Amino acid sequence: MFSRFSEKHSIIIMLVVSSFSFANNIHIKSNDSTNMVADSLRAGWKAYNRASLDISEVAFVNWNAGGSNSISGLFGMESGRSYKKGHMVWENRVVARMGLNKQQEQSLRKTDDLLELSSRFGFRKDTLTNWYYSANFSFKTQFANGFNYANSDSKPISSFMAPAYLFLGVGTVYGEHIEEFSAYMSPMTLKSTFVLDQNLANAGSFGVTPAEFDDEGNIISEGKKYRREFGILLTSGYESEIMENISVRNELSLYTDYLNDFGNFDIDWQVNFRFIVNDFIKASLGSHIKYDNDIKIINENTETQEDEISGAKVQWKQLLGLGVSIDF
């Protein structure tokens, strides 16, 4: 199920590593006055890196109640760089996750898969206001093929860069304590959807234009691999320690296209709690709700063995984990 990373994977990983290494290590070799400027710039930077591993395992031997041996793991990495000083604020974050599960007599299955990059730059006219003129960038995709295991694992329903979402926009962001709470509004946001798997593009997955077929099922013209939209993006973020050793992060994103069903919002809402047991053991509890009218749910008809499209539905994922987490 999991093939070797292609050159595209290598290029993106190199870009991520190099860009964050650059943000974390500013080396300026010049005279003393230049070094003073460099020290001043470094004073505004904050950085964090976090790696986590959650593992669960169940094994049965002569267990009269029955059961299936299983093992699952979720590996995650998150890295952030932020700069705030005077009239400027610049926030950058990379998130990567991969979860796998293996049950007795079943193939290895994926439980989580994410690669996300985001950057937001803000500038305010003076230090008295909490409103910033802002530019926003975000990119999201996955590493490996995804399957609908409830129906059939023979055909992937998603893969690397299929889909991938790119948001570019300008607007305004409010944040008195912007590290804890921010509200962003962009009336000018370009949303690009990429589906670089031609089979998925031909099927019109994730809202791209599908292929055209003749009466015998032969392809007349291939499906398009990308789709562009222009609309309004509203986001809010809140992160705080609600009590000792318990923190919460709440992120909400709403997007609607001006030309295609204006007012029909794409929704992405995540709430995650983090519980600190000690310096290394952490627990997490999270909820992730998504709705996108362009993503149609595909079910397999057990009688005809053919896929049937049932339309867009609310997607929900719940996470509960206990494992090792290291901040460095």
Q: Is the pLDDT of residue 302 over 80?
A: no
pLDDT at residue 42 in the model: 72
Tokens representing 202?
């031909």
CA 131 to CA 133: how far, in whole Å? 7
Distance of CA 283 to the CA centre of its chain: 20
**Domains along the sequence of the chain with CATH:** 48-327 (2.40.230)
Tokens representing 322?
């206990």
Burial-class residue 255 by CB neighbours within 10 Å (0-12, 13-18, 19+).
Answer: buried
Q: Mean pLDDT throughout 214-241?
A: 95
Going by their DSSP bridges, the two strands 131-141 and 164-174 should be labelled as antiparallel
Q: Mean pLDDT throughout 39-56?
A: 86
Q: Is the pLDDT of residue 21 over 80?
A: no
CA 207 to CA 169: how far, in whole Å? 21
pLDDT at residue 30 in the model: 43
pLDDT at residue 179 in the model: 86
pLDDT at residue 19 in the model: 46
pLDDT at residue 239 in the model: 95
Which value, in Å, is the radius of gyration of the alpha carbons in the chain? 23
Q: Tell me the percentage of the chain whose pLDDT exceeds 70.
A: 83
pLDDT at residue 23 in the model: 44
Residue pLDDT, tens place only, 277-297: 999 999 999 999 999 988 877
The one-letter amino acid code at 61 reads V
Tokens representing 287?
């909820």
Lowest mean pLDDT among 27-36, 97-106, 236-245, 309-318: 27-36
Q: Tell me the percentage of the chain whose pLDDT exceeds 90.
A: 69
Q: Is the pLDDT of residue 1 over 60?
A: no
Q: Mean pLDDT throughout 15-37?
A: 48
The neighbouring-strand residues paired with 100 are 73, 110
pLDDT at residue 38 in the model: 53
User: Does residue 210 have a cis peptide bond before it, meaning omega lies within 30 degrees of 0?
Assistant: no
CA 312 to CA 294: how far, in whole Å? 7
The one-letter amino acid code at 327 reads D
Nearest to 232 by CA among 197, 185, 173: 185
Lowest mean pLDDT among 145-149, 263-267, 273-277: 145-149
Residue pLDDT, tens place only, 127-138: 899 999 999 999
